[in-house]
Amino acid sequence: MITGFLALYIFMLAAFTGYEIIGRVPVILHTPLMSGSNFVHGIVLVGAMVALGHADTPIEIAIGVVAVLLAAGNVAGGYVVTERMLEMFKASKPASSQPAERKQ
Amino acid sequence: MTLPTWMPTIVEAIYFIAAVLFIWGLKRMSSPRTARTGIVWAGAGMAAAIIVTFFLPGMHNLDWMVGAIVIGVVLSWIVGRRVPMTAMPQMVALFNGMGGGAAAAIGAVELIKFNAALKLVPDTSPIQPEAWADVVGHLGTTELVLAFVGVLIGAVSFTGSLIAFAKLQGWMDRRFVFPLQRWVNLAIFAVAVVCGALALAAGIEGHAFAWGLLIGFIVLSLVFGIAMTLPIGGADMPVVISMYNAFTGLAVAFEGFVLQNEAMIIAGMVVGAAGTLLTQLMAKAMNRSLGNVLFGNFGAGGGAAQQEIAGALKPIDASDAAVMMAYAERVAIVPGYGMAVAQAQHKIWEFAKLLIERGVKVKFAIHPVAGRMPGHMNVLLAEAGVPYDLIADMDDINPEFPNTDVALVIGANDVVNPVARTDKSSPIYGMPILDVAKAKNVIVIKRGRGKGFAGIENALFYADNTRMLYGDGQAAASELVAGLKTLDV
């Protein structure tokens, strides 16, 4: 059971992690990364499954199904699109050179 | 049906591993060489987390669940596979909106269950917490507040992203503006918050609230997402999509707290923070503050006081341009979204390869907001086969322009306009630009004499060292290739 301040600590540490990860990404990867983070919040599918899995009345089930449907679309679409973009990044020489790998 | 008692522990452990893999995957995505494996790791974590969720205790409606997952996955997979690379930004918007909608729907289900449970409790006063504590379950004050906030943010992200998708897809060309719009939007937001706050206050007290309050809250939140996005122009959409991406992350984290699901809390919060930073970076690259993007209207009445640009447009034909670059030492190619629209990136890369064979040093100079999102142009060039080490960021290439013999601008306009440095009255004044004007020679491939996306005259086109190569991007690039080939005969 996560309570008050423990939750606050988790929120804080996760937020710093996210901030640090993005901070070091070269601009050339911003679009794939936005898409990648879009995929990661597809974890909402797990929550949608839990909500639907404990739904009892028809209205709860209906909204739960909508939640699962949307979340499944988020996960699958986010993955496919990100993977397609990233598989195209290739270096001209065998992975020796360190190109545009900088930028705030 | 009966699951072993250690099952929840296994589920928790897998969620933990998934959270680690998400962070690890995002970290690997921060370098072009490891990016590909990053998404695969994150994907593995996601698949594991989804599968173990079926084994949580007390899950029912499994037939509905499997059906919805299969339909959602298959549809998105097909769309995601087929869509062209130029359409990536609106795809991100669409999938992000779905995530936001899902988060809002989770919150709605939890609140409905909570309220339905409260309605069963006799509304006695003073309240007897012990009477409703077990029916209501774990929703304490914090959870209730976060459930409401999550619904609000998720709903705004849902409809807002859908509008952003429609705009980028070209289904809604115009900005939709009317007088007092800001106040109308504010009123919608305020009424939504009041509905939510009244319901919340009742819930915290342990009283059931009227269904109308919850419905009003959700509906108005959805409407607000639409109203807020309608007046924003297409050029600002990337910033807005990035912001909604952060919103969805936050909504997921908050609803994760309501469900006591650590994987959702961590993944959602990481995305929320990362998305916020990314939004700031994008807004900065476009020289716009977030407030300006959301509440200002670009170029709305301006332009009257802009400086006149002296000089004439000097045309050049493709074979002369090809010769000029063939005998240059350094060539910088500056692509813009116009190149991608004309599908000229493959021809341009063919041309660049011919130049490289002749010993010319070729680089691609990319403005942070070239394309429709930061990094979008890199994706489009990568699709054409351009290796990423030939692609230079603005900060790297700008000092090199004075030593560049020819800068070839194709389909870029505002991002190379020197007015951004010189004319204080210009709407793009202060925007960081590529210093193309400092190159020894500039060749601009352009379809016609029209203005850029921001509707501003480009002083670069009138400069003494600039030559205009008129024509459709792809045709002009083909002519350049042909021009080079005749040299070798």
ipTM of the complex as predicted: 0.86
Stretch B322-337: mean pLDDT: 90
- CB-nearest to A7 from B249, B257, B277 is B257
Cβ–Cβ gap A90/B89 under 8 Å:
no
- Spell out which residues of chain A touch residue B241, defining contact as CB-CB under 8 Å: 34
B251's tokens: 């909504």
B155-167 pLDDT, tens digit each? 999 999 999 999 8
In the prediction, which pLDDT does B426 show?
73
Is pLDDT at A99 greater than 50 in this prediction? no
Q: pLDDT tens, A41-77?
A: 999 999 999 999 999 899 999 999 999 999 999 999 9
Give A9→chain B minimum CA distance, Å: 11
Q: Is B162 on the interface with A (CB under 8 A)?
A: no
Give the pLDDT mean for B130-144: 65
Per-residue pLDDT tens over the stretch B417-464: 888 888 777 777 777 888 998 999 999 998 776 655 556 778 888 888
CB nearest A49 (choices: B30, B65, B113): B65
Q: Which of B83, B222, B252 to mutate to test the interface with A (most CBs of A within 10 A)?
A: B252
Q: Residues of B numbered 375-394 whose beta carbons fall under 8 angstroms of chain A's beta carbons: which are they?
A: 375-376, 378-379, 382-383, 385, 387-393
- At residue A29 the predicted structure's pLDDT band, cuts being 50, 70 and 90, is confident
- DSSP symbols for B206-240: T----HHHHHHHHHHHHHHHHHHHTTS-GGGHHHH
Please report the pLDDT score of residue B351 as a whole number. Answer: 92
Q: What sign has the CA pseudo-torsion B474, B480, B485, B489?
A: positive
pLDDT at residue B64 greater than cutoff 90: yes
Q: What percent of chain B has pLDDT over 70?
A: 89
Say yes or no to pLDDT of A100 above 50.
no
Q: What's the confidence (pLDDT) of residue B454?
A: 59
DSSP-assigned letters across all residues of B404-427: -SEEEEES--GGG-THHHH-TTST
Kindly determine whether residue A66 and residue B105, on different chains, have CB atoms separated by under 8 Å: yes
pLDDT at B301 over 60: no
Q: Which of B26-30, B89-93, B187-191 has the lowest mean pLDDT?
A: B26-30
Compute and round to an integer the Cα radius of gyration of chain A: 19
CA atoms of A47 and B106, how far apart (whole Å): 7
Contacts of B223 (CB under 8 A, 6+ apart): B159, B188, B192
Q: Which residue has the tokens 């065998």?
A: A94
pLDDT of residue B299: 40
Report the distance separating Cα B130 and Cα B469, nearest Å. Answer: 80
pLDDT in tens, B209-251: 889 999 999 999 999 999 999 888 777 788 899 999 999 999 9
Contact of B185 with B250, CB cutoff 8 Å:
no
Q: Which of A9, A13, A34 to mutate to test the interface with B (most CBs of B within 10 A)?
A: A34
Tell me the whole-structure pTM to 2 decimals.
Answer: 0.81
Q: Tens of pLDDT along B363-406?
A: 999 887 777 777 788 888 888 889 888 988 888 899 999 999 99
Can you tell me the distance from the alpha carbon of B12 to that of B64, in angstroms, rounded to the nearest whole number? 24
Q: Which amino acid is at B447?
A: R
How many alpha carbons lie under 13 Å from residue B41 in its C-beta half-sphere? 17
Higher pLDDT, B338 or B130: B338
Question: Are B96 and A38 an interchain contact pair (Cβ–Cβ within 8 Å)?
Answer: yes
Is B317 among the catalytic positions?
no
The residue annotated as part of the active site, out of B63, B317, B389, B414, is: B414
Over range B16-39, report the average pLDDT.
89
Buried-exposed string B161-188: b where 16+ CB fall within 10 A, e elsewhere: bbbbbbbbeeebeeeeeeeebeeebeeb
Which pLDDT value is given to residue A95? 39
CA dihedral B468, B473, B477, B483 (to 10 degrees): -40
Contact A52 B68 (CB under 8 A): yes
pLDDT in tens, B1-13: 567 888 889 999 9
| CB nearest B269 (choices: A15, A102, A103) | A15
Interatomic CA distance for residues B233 and B296, integer angstroms: 10
- State the smallest CA–CA distance between residue B284 and chain A in angstroms: 12
How is residue B367 written in tokens? 């403005």
What is residue B440's predicted lDDT score, i.e. its pLDDT?
92
Could you tell me which residue, B233 or B101, shows the higher pLDDT? B101
Measure the CA–CA gap between B293 and B291, rounded to whole angstroms.
5
Spell out the residues 6+ positions from residue A40 whose beta carbon is closer than 8 angstroms to its own. Answer: A78, B22, B25, B26, B42, B46, B267, B270, B271
* Omega before B126 within 30 of 0, i.e. cis: yes
Q: How far apart, in whole angstroms, are the C-alpha atoms of residue A72 and residue A82?
A: 15
Residue type, B107: G
d(C-alpha A69, C-alpha A78), whole Å: 14
Residue B279: what residue type? Answer: T
Q: Is B116 on the interface with A (CB under 8 A)?
A: yes
